[in-house]
């Protein structure tokens, strides 16, 4: 199997490479979570102190959805906020997600990735220099180039948490 960060046919070179990193990490997310029973998807680690795989996938979905709309220069529609949000709960933690089948979580996440793919086909490499705001209060700034890299990096970061949850679950 050849690994490469080649973008889609209708993407500019650098946009395509960055999208390729996102795509590869999303495929890895699917493979590391494959075969999980609902109990494992909802498992919150020893003593119930951690975010579950369900919470982490929902979090990735919502963060990435926000990035798609930032990149497009549009506000996230309220209907999508209501459907997939909030980013954090009243205790500044990831919202509780329980009882949602892995297939639905992954399918919803793939829907976000399809939106990202469509958005990336509209970008030129020069667009990557455009600056967007992000953060809970839009207090941070980044280029679109960094945003696309962050989507891939953030996904990979939480995959490590999912792998740890799977290890703990198998040991209980």
Query: Cβ neighbours of residue 94 under 8 Å, at least 6 residues apart?
Result: 51, 55, 56, 58, 59, 88
Indicate the length of the chain as a whole number. Answer: 172
The pair of structure tokens assigned to 52 is: 């579950």
Q: How does DSSP classify residue 93?
A: S
What angle do the packed helices 144-171 and 13-33 form, to 10 degrees? 10
d(CA 15, CA 98): 35
Q: How does DSSP classify residue 125?
A: G
SS (H, E, C) 131-168: EEEECCCCCEEEEHHHHHHHHHHHHHHHHHHHHHHHHH
Q: Quick: pLDDT tens for 11-50.
A: 999 999 999 999 999 999 999 999 999 999 999 999 999 9
Q: Which residues pair with 141 in a beta bridge?
A: 133
Q: What pLDDT does 54 receive? A: 98
Give the pTM.
0.94
Q: Quick: pLDDT tens for 100-156.
A: 999 999 999 999 999 999 999 999 999 999 999 999 889 999 999 999 999 999 999
Dihedral over alpha carbons 133, 135, 139, 144 (to 10 degrees): -20
d(CA 54, CA 56): 5
**103 exposed, middle or buried (CB, 10 Å; 0-12, 13-18, 19+)?**
exposed
């Amino acid at each position: 199997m050849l690994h490469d960060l080649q973008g889609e046919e209708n993407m500019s070179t650098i946009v395509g490479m960055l999208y390729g990193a996102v795509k590869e990490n999303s495929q890895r997310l699917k493979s590391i979570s494959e075969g999980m029973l609902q109990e494992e998807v909802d498992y919150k680690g020893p003593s119930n102190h951690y975010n579950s795989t369900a919470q982490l996938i929902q979090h990735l979905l919502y963060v990435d959805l926000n990035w798609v709309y930032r990149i497009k220069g549009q506000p996230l529609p309220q209907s999508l906020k209501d459907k997939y949000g909030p980013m954090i709960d009243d205790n500044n933690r990831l919202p509780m997600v329980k009882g949602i089948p892995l297939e639905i979580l992954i399918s919803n996440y793939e829907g976000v990735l399809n939106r990202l793919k469509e958005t990336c086909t509209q970008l030129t490499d020069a667009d990557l220099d455009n600056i967007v705001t992000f953060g809970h209060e839009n207090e941070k700034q980044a280029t679109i180039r960094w945003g696309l890299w962050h989507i891939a990096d953030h996904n990979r970061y939480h995959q490590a948490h999912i792998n740890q949850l799977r290890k703990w679950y198998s040991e209980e």
